[in-house]
Structure 1
Amino acid sequence: MKSFSTAFGVAAFASTVAGHGYITSPQPREPGDAMIAACGKQVANTFSSDINGNIQGVLQIAPSQSDYDADKCNIWTCKGMQFDDNTDNVQSWTAGEKVPMKVNIAAPHTGTANVSIIDTASSSPIGEPLIAWSVYASTATGVQANQTSFDVTIPSDLGSKCSTAGACTLQWWWDSREADQTYESCVDFTVGGSGSGSSSGSSSGSAQAATSTQAAASSTKAASSASATATAATTPVNNVLTTSAAATAAASSTATPSQGSSSTLPEEFTAEQFISWFKQVTGVTNARRSLRSHPRAF
């Protein structure tokens, strides 16, 4: 449970982070004492002062702090905010349930975005994104209504993966190559049974200790240790590193693509639509084999 008691103002970070975006509903993770223990006081205080801040700004300074533990903090998942600070705020959903979400965009930066279910033990997505945008918060066209208020549907094939509090989070991920900044926000939840698909967002008053149903993986920790010196050659997207060619192609498209076109991606797209678009843009005929040859890229 959260009992955040340290001072919020940290001058060293004031110039590195500015407000950009965060989930406002359902209730997202917030900083607390567990985050201080894992990420250090300055990282936790920075996101307490500005919940909307980006990861890259913090990583300009965090690795030099003696109380920053990259492995424990796991900053590329939920910006390092810890489940132990949020055990009294766990949503209870059912398979097939439609969950309404709201996001505050404090400052737009053209980029890509998605909402995915994250396995917290491996810091990796479970399945495909529940919703995705190839152009998000564009500085050319402005923030669209369906980018700040939308629904996601809880998959029916999760089994028992997310039945224990702390095992899964619903993560909103916004990556702007225009600004070289990444923003995240997470909602803790559990899933049980099957639902009717009606909208809901109820909160459970109690939560069990976090355990994992999958073995921990090291790929995200490697991304975290390399993130302080990340360049345009790689882009962190959903806890893996995406090649700049794919990220730039998605982020640089400012026109609104038509839903029926195979040569342009719609703002919300499926894996099959991406593969079709990839073939059109690159001329590669065997797109699936090409994508499998670069598994860290997608």
Structure 2
Amino acid sequence: MTKAQKVLVVGGGVGGLAIAIGLHQQGIDVEVVERDKDWKVYHVGINVQANFVRALNVLGIGDKAVKAGYAYRGARFVDMDGNVLQELPGDTAVDALPSDLGLTRPALHKVLTEKTLELGIPVRLGVTFESFTDRGEAVDVTFTDGSVGTYDLVIGADGNYSAVRNVLWPEAKPEYTDQGVWRYNVPRPKDLEWSDIYVGKPKGKVGYCPLTEEDMYIFAVFEEPGNPRFPKETLADEMRKRLEGYGGLMAEAARHVTDPDLVVYRPLEACIMPAP
């Protein structure tokens, strides 16, 4: 295939928008379709490291992402009572960009969407592909709104349950890992400059990460046998159960977990792709 000049990206999340911005910078004509007409993301946080921050910088949005979040000093492993066992400090001496950055997912989404629209990259919301045919030299795509298009390349960036992947490799399905992750945003203590990971409880761990000057998020990763589904109204109670027994700052943070509508629980899944 010759160099692609016209590309379709299916999925307008972190990966899809980063790809679109990067292709545009290389002079490639790129379009994005996103099936969510509201183009929204859920409200909890994300913590990223040096490679991610520097990739954003290459895309021209490194500084904006840093300003939208909180550059923390690194990670610490602590015991059940919050006593520090080991520090893993970051290093910002090379290029003044942080090695560790926490920010809310909506904040990262805002930085990426604003850059995408600033560059004039077409984004169609509430639309995805209906079908596509790979003719070797080009891909013909029919969209859910009835329109059609022809592209040199189609990129699937549509999540863990990718519809693009399902067409190309229907046997490749996400599988449950017997673990689940619980997340919740709480107020950040003014003197907290680290992401702490609590160890010592069997079958899981918990921690927190600064997101802004005002907020941090707490997480709990535990074995969840049988891939349970929890009623929405029980989520705050269930998350607090997993935070029981911890001291230090986690004990105080756990008391803020009160609203089940603000708890984000996800089963952890992995997808093993077939060999090429």
Q: Same fold (TM over 0.5)?
A: no
Q: Which has the higher strand share?
A: 2
TM-score using structure 1 length? 0.27
TM-score using structure 2 length? 0.28
